[in-house]
Amino acid sequence: MFRVTRDADIDIRAEEADDLLRALQQGLRKRRFGSPVRLEVAPDMPDEMLLNLMESIGVEPDDIYIPDGPLNILDLGALCDLDRPDLKYKPLRAVRPKV
């Protein structure tokens, strides 16, 4: 697995500010093709594949990040849907203090 982060700056000039919505829409379309600024790779990625990715994407070794954990933490959200009540906290029961 790998993830590429691209430069997401949107530059809007004063002359384009007349139609701000149109300028933002164009900027967002261009953002998809921005310069790569970071490449995150799984710890078990083979060196040959990493070198191939670096060359094809155009990143330097300083732009490589190898996280110490899951590459996409959102993928773990499926664990919450498992039917395993023994692994879940019991619902918190609210108690009002006596006055």
Provide the residue type at 72 as one letter: N
Signed CA dihedral, 43, 45, 51, 56: sign only: negative
Where are the domains positioned within the chain? 2-87
The dihedral built from the CA positions of residue 47, 49, 52 and 58, taken in this order, carries a sign that is: negative
For residues 45-83, b (16+ Cβ closer than 10 Å) or e, as one string? eeeeebeebbeeeebeeebbeeeeeebeeeeeeeeeeee
pLDDT bucket at 16, cuts 50 / 70 / 90: low
pLDDT digits 0-9 by tens, 42-86: 888 999 999 999 998 888 999 999 988 777 778 788 888 899 988
Q: How confident is the model at residue 12 (pLDDT cuts 50, 70, 90)?
A: low
Q: What pTM was estimated for this model as a whole?
A: 0.56
